[in-house]
Amino acid sequence: MNQGIDLQASFVEALTQLGVPQAAARAAWMPLPMLVVIIGVTMGLLVSVWLERKISAAAQQRIGPEYIGPLGMLAPVADGLKLVFKEDIVPAKADPLLFTAGPVIVLLPVFLSYLVVPFGQNLVITDLGTGVFFWIAMGSVQPIGLLMSGYSSNNKYSLLGGLRAAAQSISYEIPLALSVLAVVMMSNSLSTIGIVDQQTGYGILSWNLWRQPVGFVIFLISALAECERLPFDLPEAEEELVAGYQTEYAGMRFGLFYIASYVNLILASLLASVLFLGGWSFPIPMEQIGTWLGVDAGGALWQFAAAGIGIGMILLKTYFFIFLAILMRWTVPRVRIDQLLDLGWKFLLPVALVNLLLTAALKLAFPVAFGG
């Protein structure tokens, strides 16, 4: 397994050659990937918002944004600017501290989770040993923020929305974690890099999707519920709760919720492609293509191309999931709260448990195919 390009090592090496001490060079490196990821995520957010508008327009026989930039691509930027310039309102009887903290607590864990999202062998901020578990842990911080903002708004719709958000997150975190656990069990690793590495051997055939079809479906449903997207957008159900926990929010505070929801969608899609579709791996292993073409696998140009294709692949897979989620949102009605909880506790949870046990049994029986 070749290691691919290691930007950090090259950067540190270049700086030390210029006479910068090793430690300083490492420290200088640290903010760079974070900055890149934050900028990348923000771009991804804008693209998703634009896609949402364009795809919903296509689904509803409209044109969608048209005049704000080419094909309306600047529409999300205009949205963001509008939110920035809007008056920042805190309702008179709201708790100003919690009211402000709510959206921040919703937003921060999502961005933190990008720590473990890999775009290539070394293209990850930090390869945590706990990897996906870190993401799940961060995900469970979110409902606290939602509950906070719902409770502090001093509005009954917000309160109901916040409570719904908490109930929903709790119910769907368990099947989500269990389906991830099955993958982890097969990969013998919690680290996102390890999970992808284990899926690279035979190209598209070795992706977890084929070995974990049930887990894949459970993951998709639970992730959709975690992202609070239709058919599971009960916390902000417009027809019932006006806007749920966001009812009293305006301006950039609302913008934070908006950002968090889309960034969360991108995150879930990224992790779906990492866990089940082999992350950055091309359907045909890149090493294989390299030997066919007769290029030196260690060459800088080839490495660069392979990394580029890897990033392209993971983004392609991610946006496929985002496309699915958007299409779903504009196609199906919303489930009711009791149906939502029934689906989570009475259907997904048992199925996820059985899937986990089955994976364990298969792992014992066929260690070759199931990562013994």
The smaller minimum CB distance to other proteins, of residues 64 and 69, is found at 64
How near is the Cβ of 213 to other proteins at its closest, in Å?
A: 20
**Identity at 350, one-letter amino acid code:** P
Residues 6+ apart with CB under 8 A from 148: 98, 101, 102, 105, 162
How near is the Cβ of 96 to other proteins at its closest, in Å?
A: 24
Query: Which of 6, 95, 127, 240 is the binder for other proteins (CB under 8 A)?
Result: 240
How near is the Cβ of 149 to other proteins at its closest, in Å?
A: 18
Give the contact letters, 334-353, x = binds to other proteins (CB under 8 A), - = no. xxxxxx--------------
The smaller minimum CB distance to other proteins, of residues 317 and 329, is found at 329
Interacting residues with other proteins between 109 and 168 (CB under 8 A): 156-157, 160
How near is the Cβ of 169 to other proteins at its closest, in Å?
A: 16
Query: Which of 60, 85, 93, 301 is the binder for other proteins (CB under 8 A)?
Result: 60
Query: Which of 242, 250, 324, 358 is the binder for other proteins (CB under 8 A)?
Result: 242
CA distance 109 to 273: 20
CB neighbourhood size of 103 (10 A): 25
Query: Which of 13, 30, 62, 188 is the binder for other proteins (CB under 8 A)?
Result: 62
How near is the Cβ of 83 to other proteins at its closest, in Å?
A: 20
Query: Which of 19, 70, 294, 333 is the binder for other proteins (CB under 8 A)?
Result: 333
The smaller minimum CB distance to other proteins, of residues 59 and 316, is found at 59
The smaller minimum CB distance to other proteins, of residues 158 and 200, is found at 158
Residues 6+ apart with CB under 8 A from 127: 116, 118, 191, 192, 193
Summarize as ranges the residues that interact with other proteins (CB under 8 A): 56, 59-62, 156-157, 160, 230-231, 233-234, 237-240, 242, 330-339
